Amino acid sequence: MIDSMAFPKGFLWGGAIAANQAEGAYLEDGKGLTTVDLLPTGDKRFEIMMGNLPSYEPLEGEFYPSHEAIDFYHRYKEDIALFAEMGFKSLRLSISWARIYPNGDDSTPNEAGLQFYDDIFDELLKYGIEPVVTIAHFDVPINLVKNYGSWKNRKLVDFFEKYATTLFERYKDKVKYWMTFNEINMLLHLPFVGAGLVFEEGEDKLEVKYQAAHHQLIASSLAVKAGHEINPNMKIGCMLAAGQTYPYSCNPDDVFDAMEKDRDSFFFIDVQSRGKYPGYAKRFFKDKNISIKMEEQDEALLAEYTVDYIGFSYYASRTTSTNPEINKQTSGNVFGSIENPYLEKSEWGWTIDPKGFRITANQLYDRYQKPLFVVENGLGAIDIPEEDGEIKDDYRIDYLRKHVLEMSEAIEDGVEIIGYTSWGPIDIVSASTGEMKKRYGYIYVDKDNEGNGTLNRSKKKSFDWYKEVIVSNGEKV
């Protein structure tokens, strides 16, 4: 254990999960089918994530991990008790849109779905755990994809506004912290995942993506408006897949390239936090011949209803070069990074860069001057139980310790950070691969990649480590 003193009183330590990666029960109690329910494992998964969906129904013989996931739907009490034992101050979770509005365009919400989240929030509050809610985390009701074209269509703004308003009204006294769209910039990289986009022949994909982005940005503003009207104490944030891009060399071409790559992501938060389309985006649209359809009131909405805080995930940094020779080396990252010779990588090729976390936090705070909330961070790794079943995940502890220390450095740098919810405090389905073997948890779940296992929960070595971090408010890491 190492001493650090930076964390403010009331810092929201905890963990983060998403409905589709944890709940399972994919058609139970009136839930409708969503985009994620059509993502199998294997190569097809990536194809679909890029916007090539073969069918609007699950196919015979395919394995869809979200259908059962880790059965959080039926086991949440046991899981929340374990989170409480670790001393969690917060739990970030998402609400499944299709549990509330099974088809997305229904006139009334599904009471069973609303009740399920009421029960979860009550259970959390019983232990003094603050719920932090993501309104949309990579799942769109499939009816909206099939019959409306998902976020390509402006109508989604209305459906989302209605969905968000239903949540704000129902949970106004239970939930203070909200986020509108998980990793909103993921839409550019995995368009089906981020926005339910399925491309048709001949479509200008870039234009479609930015039109969908515009709709999400407007929907996000309208959600901020509705939430604040319903309860002015609500804090409604955005959520960015963050991670600094480094230039491979000090060649100004590389430096400029790195800046542009970061702007692909900042674009979203510039709009959500600063309230307007940045000049560089306008130039980009012009250069690429992209025209975005906007309505008269849009600019005013974006300007008036900006977010209260900046939520972000940080796993890895990226590196970029304009030199075609160097560009040949790539590493496994949806953001298309090249190898950074100074950094180690995870088993999935993600760089391990704790200092990059400090840099990223500083950069976001310098840019937006709003409180930051680290809502995802962690190491996806293969855990192999010892003979007695114990999992000695020192590699995970090592990753997290270094990141928590860099976070404390960022706080010393003057960055305002209100909480840290590490990703997947209990093993859940991986978003990118659909695998169970890519694990992040302090709590092990007995389930393999094919879906076999008892689903029993057990504590890993990191469980006690994280408990100590929280008890000492980050003084002992």
Q: Which of 116, 105, 191 is nearest to 144 (CA)?
A: 105
Longest dimension (CA), the chain: 65
> Shortest gap between Cβ of 313 and ligand BGP (angstroms)?
5
Q: In the structure encoding, which two tokens stand for residue 102, read together? A: 């099974």
Q: Are strands 443-445 and 457-459 parallel, antiparallel or unpaired?
A: antiparallel
70 binds ligand BGP (CB under 6 A): no
Report phi then psi at 238, rounded to 5. -100, 180
Nearest approach, Cβ of residue 42 and ligand BGP (Å): 14
One of 18, 98, 222, 405 touching ligand BGP (CB under 6 A): 18
> Which member of 162, 438, 439, 447 binds ligand BGP (CB under 6 A)?
438
Q: Where does this chain touch ligand BGP (CB under 6 A) — which range of 72-80, 208-216, 387-395, 429-437?
A: 429-437
d(CA 430, CA 440) in angstroms, rounded, equals 9
Residues 59 and 165: their CA atoms lie apart, in Å, by 34
What single DSSP character describes residue 253? Answer: H
Give the single-character DSSP code of 28.
G
- Rounded to an integer, what distance in angstroms lies between the CA atom of residue 398 and that of residue 63? 34
Nearer to ligand BGP, 340 or 421 (CB): 421
Tokens of 257: 């390239």
Q: Report the alpha-carbon distance of residue 71 to residue 23 in Å, rounded.
A: 5
Taking the least distance from each CB to ligand BGP, the nearer of 21 and 180 is 21
- 132 or 302: whose CB is closer to ligand BGP? 132
Q: Which helix (DSSP H) or strand (DSSP E) does residue 326 occupy? A: helix 324-327
x/- string (CB under 6 A) for ligand BGP, residues 359-398?
A: -----------------x---x------------------
| Binding of ligand BGP by 190 (CB under 6 A) | no
Size of the site for ligand BGP (CB under 6 A): 14
The secondary structure element, H or E, covering residue 287 is helix 279-287
Give yes or no for residue 143 binding ligand BGP (CB under 6 A): no
Q: Which listed residue (116, 423, 442, 466) binds ligand BGP by CB under 6 A?
A: 423
CB of 50 or CB of 230, closer to ligand BGP: 50
Interface pick for ligand BGP out of 37, 123, 130, 183 (rule CB under 6 A) = 183
Helix (H, G, I), strand (E, B) or coil at 34: strand
Cβ closest to ligand BGP, residue 183 vs residue 270: 183
**Closest distance to ligand BGP from the beta carbon of 16 (Å):** 8
- Pick the closer one to ligand BGP by CB: 51 or 87: 51
Using CB under 6 A as the binding rule, the residues of this chain from 74 to 133 that contact ligand BGP are none
Where does residue 165 rank: exposed (0-12), middle (13-18), buried (19+ CB within 10 A)?
Answer: middle
First to last CA, the chain: 5
Residue 434 within binding range of ligand BGP, rule CB under 6 A: no
Q: Is 218 in contact with 157 (CB distance < 8 Å)? A: yes
Tell which one of 66, 430, 462, 473 touches ligand BGP (CB under 6 A). Answer: 430
H helix intervals, 135-251 = 142-148, 155-171, 186-189, 191-195, 205-230
Q: Is-catalytic flag, 450?
A: no
Helix (H) or strand (E) holding 74: helix 72-85
Interface characters, 290-319, with ligand BGP (x: CB under 6 A): -----------------------x------
- Is residue 352 near ligand BGP by the rule CB under 6 A? no
Q: Which of 23, 183, 376, 409 is catalytic?
A: 376
Whether the CB-CB separation of 342 and 406 falls below 8 Å is answered with: no
Contact mark string toward ligand BGP, 222..251, x via CB under 6 A: -------------------x----------
Q: Which is nearer to ligand BGP, 4 or 20 (CB)?
A: 20
| Catalytic residue positions, numbered | 376
User: For binding to ligand BGP (CB under 6 A), which residues are involved?
Assistant: 18, 21, 182-183, 241, 313, 376, 380, 423, 430-433, 438
